[in-house]
Amino acid sequence: MLTSPSPRSLLCNSVDELRAWLHCHGRGPAKLLKQAHARLLRHGLDEDSFLLNLLLKSLFESGCTAHASLVFSLAPSPNLHLCNTAVRGLVNGAQWLQAVRLYREMRTLGMSPNNFTFPFVLKACARLSDLELGKNIHANLFKSGLDRDVHVSTSLVGVYAKCGRLTTARALFEEMPAPNVVSWTAIISGYMEEGRLEEALALFERMLRLGLEPDSFTLVRVINACAQLGNSLAGSEIHRLVEEKGALCNVFVATALVDLHAKCGDMERAREVFDRMPHRDVVTWSTMVGGYAANGLPREALAVFELMEKEKVEPDEFTVLGLLSACAKIGALELGRSYSARLDRRAFLCNPILGTALIDLHAKCGSAGGAWAVFAAMEIKDVVCVNATISGLAMNGHTKLCFALFAAMERSGLRPNHNTFVGLLCACTHSGLVQEGRRLFEGMTRVYGVAPKVEHFGCMVDLLGRTGLLEEALGLVRSMPVAPNAVVWGALLSGCRLHRNAAMAEQAAERLVELEPGNSGNYVQLSNLYASRGRWAESAALRRRMQRKGIEKLPGCSWIEFGGAVHEFKAGELSQHPLREEIGGKLEELGREMRRRGYVASTEVVLFDVEEEEKEATLGHHSEKLAVAFGLVVVPVGEVVRVVKNLRVCADCHEAIKLVSEISGREIVVRDTNRFHCFNRGSCSCGDFW
């Protein structure tokens, strides 16, 4: 019986030993495979088609595509079997063009490609979107009768689908006598490529009804379709199917499920799948980090990354994207910078997606200068990157720079899109530029061919409402071509509250409760409106209704970064903080000085039927005040105190922090849900307009 030499050396002293070695160790190191080639030449066996085919297959499978191509080119008289091995190897090595050229040479030499040749050549056609060659091959297949072969016809379906001829692909698929799972996956993928996701899911359901067993690739595709649609119901059914088939151990399927639940906003189920996975790669970890960040759970995103580090998994650019998004949400600029340092800086400057995330981080942390510096250094400035910069500048109150960048964008030939105008209209809103906002809004369609969407109407309603043009704002809401959403009614409500139009505000708040019955903020705002008009019974009834429905008021929460960590403060909660005495002392010290300078708490913003003294105590422990006091205690003098809040800063806190900036001589930056407030020397960058 022949024995094979060790794969660490190649000491084959006979043809039989060489053949045995190639059989057993065909996927060995490139160096040994090249030695095997040398042995073939030395023994004069380079014309032995069987040995040559074994060597060629081994070289391709080991990734030695260039050497394999050289070996094939030196073959004195390659037969069909050898050509098929070369075509397959080139396609699997992503050498699509070379595979097509080889096929054409085979035809020129009079060879008749068979059912082993065509599936791979057609795959190359699909990758190259070469429809003409695909049609030519289809005609040849029809003449030879090979179009009835399931593997060949499946590849044909793939070509037509990839080339945008979905109708033809579907017709071919329906003509197949017995399509297999790969065939079904090909047509499902074709519908997904065209964005026809509902039809893709319908095909998958039909496949299941026929009793076919989906493979992991099919499952990943349909799970992705559910994720793109945000179809949690269909996703849950597929999740159940995955568990029944025991496919949860497949890292690709499980990761697709994590992504599905994250995109449907169900991070509990995403985490459940994640925790049950026996193996997790960097894609899985990045999906969890990004999922938490996208669903407004930035602290959880950072916690998952800490676990990832403990598991010694090296983050990739997608992980960093999720981390930057999480840091931007809680204003953790230094932490975000430390995460971005894990990638080479050129990765950000050459990649518009990464660069945009870094711009967004700086902008949302109140560092407009940092955002501009990143933008200026970027080598590729696409429309997404420009839009992020415009929005960041608008958020920080740099309206003139926004319009200067817009002018530069037009000069460069970049076409503005919907998001560009959202950023510009927001800039107008924060600066009260009514005429400029009207001009932009009216010129979107007329000048730029961009039809206003609900977001643009929301911006205009916000602008008109903030400047007191409430009737015009309400008229715009009523004239909208689409039904106004919660953002539009919320913008109108903000304007009504600012200018004390209680009747119109009540109308807007009631619509908000109808549109978002699970949003606690809407109930609270309507309850407060009733209270402001002395309708205490209705206010109390609405709060009881909240309790019956199990709707809890979103607590005020603020974050401040210090010492490589993010510190969280909730309204009225200080007893558990390790620096509670220092923070309490700082609040008392500031309070005494503020009262000495004439500060009186604006208790009208606390619309509960309680005593004035209790209202003042409530105001004094708003989360942003606690975070600012903490910052003044720990942040070194000369550095900016940066705070992020999850709600709108109330009028009392706004006035108080203006005074605190004057008393302390410190610059304090607070980002709320509306905009940035840069407090310095007793004034705010918003000009008391927010």
Q: What is the pLDDT of residue 616?
A: 43
Q: Do 153 and 147 touch, CB atoms closer than 8 A?
A: yes
Give the C-alpha distances (Å, rounded to integers) separating 686 from 36, 48, 77, 641.
Answer: 75, 82, 80, 17
| Higher-confidence position of 670 and 648 | 670
Instruction: Give the DSSP letter string of 348-388.
Output: HHH-HHHHHHHHHHHHHTT-HHHHHHHHHH-S---HHHHHH
Phi, psi (rounded to 5 degrees) for 181: -60, -40
Q: What is the pLDDT of residue 615?
A: 40
Q: Average pLDDT of the chain?
A: 86
For residue range 448-458, list pLDDT tens digits in order: 999 999 999 99
For residue range 231-276, list pLDDT tens digits in order: 999 999 999 999 998 898 999 999 999 999 999 999 999 999 999 9
| Higher-confidence position of 15 and 613 | 15
Q: Return the SS3 of 139.
A: helix
Q: How far is Cα 541 from Cα 152, in angstroms, rounded to an integer?
A: 69
CB-side neighbour CA atoms (13 Å) of 592: 5
* Non-local CB neighbours of 67 within 8 Å, separated by 6+ positions: 30, 33, 34, 37, 59
For residue 656, pLDDT over 60 is answered with yes
Q: What is the pLDDT of residue 617?
A: 46
Q: How far is Cα 524 from Cα 552, in angstroms, rounded to an integer?
A: 10
For residue 196, pLDDT over 80 is answered with yes
pLDDT band with cut points at 50, 70 and 90 for residue 34: low
Give the C-alpha distances (Å, rounded to integers) separating 196 from 162, 200, 369, 584.
Answer: 14, 6, 43, 59
Q: Do 22 and 9 touch, CB atoms closer than 8 A?
A: no
pLDDT band with cut points at 50, 70 and 90 for residue 689: low
Taken in order 100, 105, 107, 108, is the CA torsion positive or negative?
positive
For residue 145, pLDDT over 90 is answered with no
Of 552-566, 615-629, 673-687, the least confident: 615-629
Q: Which helix (H) or strand (E) holds 124?
A: helix 118-128
Q: What is the pLDDT of residue 23?
A: 56
Q: What is the pLDDT of residue 10?
A: 43
Of 291-295, 310-314, 432-436, 547-551, the least confident: 547-551
Q: What is the pLDDT of residue 602?
A: 65
Mean pLDDT throughout 289-307?
95
Mean pLDDT throughout 110-128?
91
Q: How far is Cα 400 from Cα 368, in angstroms, rounded to an integer?
A: 13
Q: What is the pLDDT of residue 612?
A: 37
Looking up tokens 């179809």, which residue turns up? Answer: 231
For residue 89, pLDDT over 50 is answered with yes
For residue range 369-426, list pLDDT tens digits in order: 999 999 999 998 999 999 999 999 998 888 999 999 999 999 999 999 999 999 999 9
Q: How many residues does the chain have?
A: 690
Written as six digits, the tokens of 94 are 């992503």
Q: Return the SS3 of 25.
A: coil
Q: What is the pLDDT of residue 194?
A: 92
Q: What is the pLDDT of residue 38?
A: 67
Instruction: Characterize the bridge pairing of strands 641-645 and 668-671.
Output: parallel
User: Can you name the residues that pair with 143 across neighbouring β-strands?
Assistant: none
CA gyration radius for the chain? Answer: 33
For residue 5, pLDDT over 50 is answered with no
